Amino acid sequence: MRRIDFIVIHCTATPQDTRPEAIQHYWKEYLKWKNPGYHYLIEASGDVRQLATEERICNGVAGHNANSIHVSYIGGVDADNKPLDNRTPAQRQSMRVLIIKLKKQYPQAQIQGHRDFPFVKKACPCFDARQEFNDFTAIVNSI
């Protein structure tokens, strides 16, 4: 079993109606990745797709993938492709449920956004994940 130090929150930086298959096609055909970018992808409807087992290393944050689980929502940009936290209520709810599950499974893991890693020059996930999920250790411990 891999040691997981981070639960990393991402956005796809695409329109909210982007199909998961299109994102996967981009990784494989354009970026030539053998592994997906995220373990979990949350659609606008709130449906959660698991794109890789947690044992598999994904391509979420260069230099930090061996010890991370990656969770992304589809969206994160406005009509002009500028960063925007445009998660739907269903995405917010699904993300909370998934992060609580992962935090229970990996209690030592820090929850943070892609942008919170050193040398990252992206707005991803377009909100402050550390602040939004800072109470999750207490929530998980109370369950």
Q: Domain locations in the chain?
A: 6-142
pTM of the model: 0.93
Distance CA(56)–CA(109), nearest Å, equals 17
Q: Which helix (H) or strand (E) holds 9?
A: strand 6-11
The answer to whether the beta carbons of residues 40 and 29 sit under 8 Å apart is no
Instruction: Walk along the chain (143 residues) and give the pLDDT tens digit of each residue.
Output: 789 999 999 999 999 999 999 999 998 998 889 899 999 999 999 999 999 999 999 999 999 999 999 999 999 999 999 999 999 999 999 999 999 999 999 999 999 999 999 999 999 999 999 999 987 666 666 65
Structure tokens at 3: 């040691």
Mapped onto helix, strand or coil, the DSSP state of residue 58 is coil
Please state which architecture CATH assigns to domain 6-142.
3-Layer(aba) Sandwich (3.40)
